[in-house]
Each structure stands twice: as structure tokens, then as C-alpha cells.
Amino acid sequence: MKYIFSLLLIGVFAATAFAQNITNVDAYQNGKQVYITYTLDKNADITIYLSADGGNTYNAALNNVSGDVGKNVASGNKTAVWDVLADRDRFVGDNFRFKVKASSEGNQTFTIGGVRFEMIYVKGGTFTMGCTSEQGSDCESDEKPAHQVTLTDYYIGKFEVTQELWRAVMGSDPSELYFKGCDECPVENVSWNDIQVFLLKLNVKTGKRFRLPTEAEWEYAARGGNKSNGYKYSGSNTIGNVGWYTDNSGSKTHPVGQKTPNELGIYDMSGNVWEWCQDWYGDYSSNSQTNPTGPSSGSYRVLRGGSWGDDARDCRVSYRNIGAPGNRNSSRGFRVLLLP
């Protein structure tokens, strides 16, 4: 049986990244210590894991490690130092591998042309998508069967994309055809195709890879993610608390963030404007899925959440709407998603 101190003799180890914002990971030994170096592109919480069997399994996080590890490590070229002998009783093996994991569970804020927008961190998890019990008799046939979906972490817009943010990215305001002059109202009269152009320009300006949420990502966030209280609408069982719909909207959009947010702090996922999703529309499967992206092709894209002109039943978290990718109208907008 070889304990971890055998590393001091044979020096067989390697290191890899465990997140998209970590690069250039390496490890080397100097006497009784192992130095693990990496490059971090944004502030994050850093944890280092060890495998003693060549990377097949990773044990609990290393405890006796110092340097650039722990909470809120700043971006840049980093070094963590592991005290090998202090952990000699914890690990068995002779083929050691390290993984460096970054967790950025805080929200992120971006500014484009003086316009600030915030992205809410959504911790991944497993949920039941579709016609669940709280949706009651309002469920449509295409909300069935309810099925298990597992998602990894992501960020989603705290608000629907506003007129002023669209204008900052695109230099124009399609909402002027309907609800002109409300910078903080959600942009509408935009098609799925129009949004793809917006996303390309936004990504150039930010250096990120924003996209529309998948239908599953949208529903998980609307339900409150891993903090869900099982509401019918996004954040409440009473639509008027969280959304602008036909009975309270006055037949118009309203500035984002005026209603109560859901469990994750996200606003207006029920009502105000329909939100385009990335997916083609198609039937649900009863099979469990991980990070589903919908059908590979189709005629219509999915919209979610209801709008200022819709009844309460259409603003439920499981309700599905469809639209041709080139279609525009005054009740359709969107919010953006970003992967860690």
C-alpha cells in the first residue's frame, strides 16, 4: 500500500482544469510541497481536488493547501501550494492527478454603451419539467408528459432585454412601432432571427457567448431553480403579484422589475412579454434528460412566460407558445443566458 508520501519519491502526477474560466493548469513538486499553477480569467472561489488513481475518481477537496485557493480569488496567474505530508493519511495510490475548480456563484454585471444589465446565477440541478401538480387542470397536451431534466449551472438575465439595451447594442429601437419612449420597458417587436443578430453583436462587444435560454433552462429558472417553492407562476401562485397580464397591464408593456421577483431574484418571467427560447418546438419525451436542446429542426421556435395581452393561464411556468422564427409582434421579447 502506497500512501501519498510516495509522491515525494516517484513524482507521478498531472493537473487539469475543472471550469471554463481556468486555463494553463500545471503542477510540480519542490521537496515536501506540490505547487499547482493556473490562470483564472475572472474572480472566483477556487477548490482543488486530488485523484490517486490517474483521474478515474476524485476525492474530497484538499485541506492542507495555501496560496491562491478558497473564496474570491482574483483573476490572473495563480499558484496554490499543497503540503503533501500533512495529507499523507488521507490518500492511497501512486498515480496522482489534480483538478482546479472555479465556482462563480455570484451574479455578474455588464455595461454596454452606458447601459448596465445583470445576470443571475442559476445553480444547476434536477427538476420536473412540464405539467406538474400545481399547474392543475390548466395544462395543455403539449405540456405532457412531465419528465425529469438535469441542468448544469448558468446565468440568466435578471430582467428581459430592455429597449435601451437593444438600442445600445443595435443602434435602433424596434419598439418605437408600438410602445415608444420607455427605455426600461422590455424590447418587443423582435423576431427570433433578429435576436440572433443582437446576440452576435453583444458577444463582440463583451467578448462573451450570450445566447437565448433553452426551453428547459427557461422553465427551471422560472420555477425558481434549486430554491423553488413550487409556484404556478414565476414566484407566486397569484399572477398579479409577479406579472403584467391582460387584467392589470392596461394593454401595454411596463418597465421591468416593478413586480415581485421569483425565488432566484429574477423578474417578469410571467407576463410583460413572451420570451423567445433557443429551441425548435416539438413533443416532450417521458425519458429523463440532461441539458436538452430540443428537436434538431422544425418550423416554429418556442416562446415562454405569457405577456401583457394574455390570460393568467398562459403565464404559467409550464405553458408553451410557438412562433415562426421571422415573426415579430408587440408581445414578444426575450432575455439572455450565459454559461459560466
Q: Are strands 115-122 and 154-157 parallel, antiparallel or unpaired?
A: antiparallel
Three cell numbers, residue 316: 404559467
Dist. CA 216–CA 213, nearest whole Å:
8
Strand 33-40 and strand 22-30: the pairing is: antiparallel
Higher pLDDT among residues 290 and 3, named by residue: 290
Question: How many angstroms separate the CA atoms of 155 and 100, rounded?
Answer: 21
Q: Is 129 exposed, middle or buried (0-12, 13-18, 19+ CB in 10 A)?
A: buried
Across the range 96-102, mean pLDDT stands at 81
- pLDDT band, very low/low/confident/very high, at 162 (cuts 50, 70, 90): very high
Query: What's the whole-number mean pLDDT along residues 276-292?
Result: 97
Q: Is 162 exposed, middle or buried (0-12, 13-18, 19+ CB in 10 A)?
A: buried
Give me the pLDDT at residue 176, please. 76
Residue whose C-alpha cell reads 493519511 in the numeric block:
89
Considering the four listed CATH numbers 3.40.50.1370, 3.90.1580.10, 3.40.50.720, 3.30.1490.20, the one that applies to the domain covering 108-338 is 3.90.1580.10
Give the integer Cα–Cα distance in Å for 233 and 117: 24
Q: pLDDT value at position 93?
A: 63
Would 4-103 and 108-338 be classified into the same CATH topology?
Answer: no
SS (H, E, C) 151-174: ECCEEEECCCCEHHHHHHHHCCCH
CB atoms within 10 A of CB 218: 27
Q: Where are the domains of the chain?
A: 4-103, 108-338
Q: In whole angstroms, how large is the CA radius of gyration of the chain?
A: 24
The C-alpha cell at 109 is 454585471
Q: How confident is the model at residue 11 (pLDDT cuts 50, 70, 90)?
A: very low
- At residue 15 the predicted structure's pLDDT band, cuts being 50, 70 and 90, is low
- The DSSP H or E segment spanning 301 is strand 301-304
4-103: CATH topology is Immunoglobulin-like (2.60.40)
Q: pLDDT at residue 85 above 90?
A: no
* Nearest alpha-carbon partner for 15 in 35, 41, 42: 35
| Rounded CA separation 313/82 (Å) | 56
Q: What is the pLDDT of residues 288-314, one digit of tens each?
A: 999 999 999 999 999 999 999 999 999
Q: What is the mean pLDDT of residues 315-319?
A: 98
- Mean pLDDT throughout 231-244? 98
User: For residue 2, what pLDDT band results from cuts at 50, 70 and 90?
Assistant: very low
**Angle CA 201–151–263, to nearest 5:** 85
Q: Helix, strand, or coil here: 291?
A: coil
> Which string of DSSP letters, residue by residue, matches 196-259?
HHHHHHHHHHHSS--BPPPHHHHHHHHTTGGG----SBTTBSSHHHH---TTTS-SS---TT-S
Averaged pLDDT score across all residues of the chain = 89
pTM of the predicted model, to two decimals?
Answer: 0.73
Maximum average pLDDT range among 65-74, 151-160, 174-183? 151-160
Q: Read off the pLDDT of residues 193-215 as tens digits, 9 standing for 90 and up.
A: 999 999 999 999 999 999 999 99
Better-predicted residue by pLDDT, 27 or 213: 213
Q: Which of 176, 336, 157, 337 is nearest to 261 (CA)?
A: 157
Q: What is the pLDDT of residues 103-149, one digit of tens each?
A: 666 788 999 999 999 999 999 999 999 999 999 999 999 999 999 99
Residue 283 has pLDDT above 50, yes or no: yes
